[in-house]
Structure 1
Amino acid sequence: MKRRAFTMAGLALALTGCGRIVDARATARETAFEAEFPPTGQLIQVQGRTVHVDIRGSGPDLILLHGASGNSRDFTFSLADRLATRYRVLAFDRPGLGWTDAIGAQTDNPIAQAELLRAAADQLGVRRPVVLGHSYGGAVAMAWGLRAPGDTAALVIVSGATMPWPGTLTGWYAFLETPLGDRVGPPLLTALAPVSLGNRIMAGIFAPQPVPPGYADYIGVGLAARRGNYRANASQINGLRAYLRVMAPQYPRLTMPVEVIHGGQDSIVPAEIHALPLAEALPNAALTILPDQGHMPQHGDPQAIIAAVDRASVRAGLR
């Protein structure tokens, strides 16, 4: 018994020593990542939290909400400039990701995310915006509409994760929800995972379309590789289905114009599970399926997304 106790104590000491080395390495890499990929916009204080927003252009207000793991650079890579010729485009980092602070225990709550970003938008003088959400951002956009139906001109849901899906998440995300996974997973990944791993994951997200030239260098994979980002993203993905079960029954009361646009080849957020039932549930939805597109049509077919924004604006009486 005593020998076993000594063995466990020795193992604990070894793990503690390794943990310190890993944490130091993770901290150094995070510092380098943040220096390489600084905020592209401005940092504002909202309800005691730092919120990052990139604002460009003029015209009716257009909010852009990015998907899981990413940040506002996904939109400012090219789409935001194209939209800024006739909209005031506000691309936000969602809470816990990019350069926006987490919101504690509510970081995994798309409704709480929408409330913080609505407060930020209000602080910036936004009135009756069109709100576009991609992937996880689609859930936040739906929450935005539910919380402020009278002050939301229209919604554009791009490859949105908006409906509760069958089954449960397994694999890496499930592991990160365990106490052991939360403790050891993010530090090890931040300290040791090569950037090339993020690039391979990115290629799978874009499939069947290729990653656009220059995107990997611009998006800031290192920002997503920080320990806080890993934890925030995992909690958001793991918790989303429960929130969608609460939100989805409320969708039929949304009467503003909604453009639902989705890639027919999307295997990450399948259209038949999300886009089709969402369009059926909404009283004023227009559904567009892009047959050849995967999960990232804002890059694979940006003109289709721009057209959807324009249709939403016209339907809302903004243009």
Structure 2
Amino acid sequence: MILALLVLLGVIALVQWRAATRESLAEAAAPPSGQMVDVDGVQVHARVLGSGPDLVMIHGASGNLRDFTFDLAQRLSPHYRVTLLDRPGLGWTARLPAYAGAWRKTAEPPREQAALLQRAADQLGVKNPIVLGHSYGGAVALAWGLTRPEETAALVLLAAVSKPWPGGLGWLYKLTGSTLGSALVIPMITAFAPKRAVESSIEAIFAPQSAPAGYEAHIGTGLTLRRTSTRANAQQVTSLRPHIVEMSQDYHRLKMPVELVHGSADTIVPLQIHSEPLLKDIPQARLTRLPGIGHMPHHANPQSVIDAIDRAARDAGLRPRP
């Protein structure tokens, strides 16, 4: 029994060492590209580009702000002051202290995430922004609009999670979102996840389109595979649905312009479950359906997203730089 215990402790030590080594390499390969903003001791990573009316961009699950700097943010920066923010626990933003730790089953709700990012944006001088959110980030953008309705010019929601969905999230989220999986399985994922598994995950997110060349290297997938980030992502996703149920009761309060952009071939956040029903809650919302496009419309059809942002700006009375 003593020998078995020693072997077990050795395996645990090996896993943790290898995980830490891979995390160090990932962080060296994708360092912060912006600035760190201190919000009551919580470090928020932000990057600001361009000038013009304020546009805040919030990334989805398993991602970071680099998803937007691959292409879209640079297209927008001549016309808008673009503020990109890493969500709590992802990229280079820290977790809120109340939710940190391997043994926790809860995670930062969209409203608390929005509050943290709002306070960081305040420090950066953001005023009356258009707030864009992709996927999970769409839920945070909706929370932003609900908590600051008079200080949010417009919302632009890309393949956004907005309505309660039927069914579960799949076995991997169930496993990594559990207490035991968080403590034991996630370090093994960090330590040993093969490159092909990462590539397959990216392929699934972009399907039926393909990821653009260089995307994996640019976004820094190793950042997402860090123990803290994998844990934060799993906990946030698995605990999201009750918050969507609660938030959806208040969508009728959103009176600002709202643009929805959603691909008809999105199987991760289906159009028929989210954006189409959302139109009933927000009558002034405008939905752009993208035939044959999957879950990444800002990469597959960036011009449609830019057009939606420009319409939102016009309807909000803002004037982008020519």
Q: Identify the TM-score tier after normalising by the shorter chain.
A: over 0.9
- Compute the TM-score of the two structures, normalised by the length of structure 2: 0.95
The Cα of 1:68 is off from its aligned counterpart by: 0.2
The Cα of 1:46 is off from its aligned counterpart by: 1.2
State whether structure 2 residue 35 is matched by structure 1 residue 42.
Answer: yes
Give the match for residue 135 of structure 1.
Answer: 135
Contact 1:254–1:283 (Cα < 8 Å) also in 2:
no
Give the match for residue 74 of structure 1.
Answer: 67
Unaligned 5+ runs, structure 1: 1-5
Q: Describe the SS at the equivalent of 2:249.
A: helix
Give the match for residue 103 of structure 2.
Answer: none
- 2:92 maps to amino acid: W
Q: Describe the SS at the equivalent of 1:98.
A: coil
Q: Name the CA shift for 1:105/1:170 in 2 (closer, same or farther; >3 Å).
A: farther
State whether structure 2 residue 25 is matched by structure 1 residue 32.
Answer: yes
Give the distance between the partners of 1:243 and 1:179, measured in 2 at CA.
20
State whether structure 2 residue 19 is matched by structure 1 residue 22.
Answer: no
How many residue pairs get matched?
Answer: 312
Give the distance between the partners of 1:179 and 1:58, measured in 2 at CA.
44
Give the match for residue 124 of structure 2.
Answer: 124
The Cα of 1:176 is off from its aligned counterpart by: 1.5
Give the match for residue 291 of structure 1.
Answer: 291
Give the match for residue 211 of structure 1.
Answer: 211
Give the match for residue 223 of structure 2.
Answer: 223
Contact 1:154–1:258 (Cα < 8 Å) also in 2:
yes
Give the distance between the partners of 2:177 and 2:53, measured in 1 at CA.
40
The Cα of 1:213 is off from its aligned counterpart by: 1.1
Correspondence list, 1:139-154, <5 A:
139-154=139-154
The Cα of 1:104 is off from its aligned counterpart by: 3.2
Deviation digits for residues 198-244 of structure 1 (CA, Å, limit 9, x no counterpart): 11100110011111011111110100110001000000100110100
Give the distance between the partners of 1:77 and 1:237, measured in 2 at CA.
24
The Cα of 1:10 is off from its aligned counterpart by: 4.8
The Cα of 1:126 is off from its aligned counterpart by: 0.7
Give the distance between the partners of 1:182 and 1:275, measured in 2 at CA.
32
Give the match for residue 170 of structure 2.
Answer: 170
Give the distance between the partners of 2:179 and 2:135, measured in 1 at CA.
27
Give the match for residue 188 of structure 2.
Answer: 188
Give the match for residue 3 of structure 1.
Answer: none
The Cα of 1:47 is off from its aligned counterpart by: 1.7
The Cα of 1:105 is off from its aligned counterpart by: 3.6
Give the match for residue 53 of structure 2.
Answer: 60
- 2:210 maps to amino acid: P
- 1:58 maps to amino acid: S
- 2:270 maps to amino acid: P
Give the distance between the partners of 2:221 and 2:170, measured in 1 at CA.
23
Q: Describe the SS at the equivalent of 1:133.
A: strand
Give the distance between the partners of 1:98 and 1:11, measured in 2 at CA.
38
Give the distance between the partners of 2:65 and 2:178, measured in 1 at CA.
29
Contact 1:108–1:240 (Cα < 8 Å) also in 2:
no
Give the distance between the partners of 1:280 and 1:10, measured in 2 at CA.
64
Deviation digits for residues 43-89 of structure 1 (CA, Å, limit 9, x no counterpart): 11112111101110000000000000100000001100000010000
Give the distance between the partners of 1:20 and 1:242, measured in 2 at CA.
37
Give the distance between the partners of 2:179 and 2:247, measured in 1 at CA.
28
Q: Describe the SS at the equivalent of 1:233.
A: helix
Give the match for residue 315 of structure 2.
Answer: 315
Q: Describe the SS at the equivalent of 2:116.
A: helix
The Cα of 1:30 is off from its aligned counterpart by: 0.4
Deviation digits for residues 247-296 of structure 1 (CA, Å, limit 9, x no counterpart): 00100111000001100000000000000111221132011110121000
Which structure would you say has the larger Rg?
Answer: 1
Percent of aligned positions that are identical = 51
Q: Name the CA shift for 1:171/1:87 in 2 (closer, same or farther; >3 Å).
A: same
Correspondence list, 1:220-259, <5 A:
220-259=220-259
Deviation digits for residues 149-185 of structure 1 (CA, Å, limit 9, x no counterpart): 0000000000001111112323011112223211111
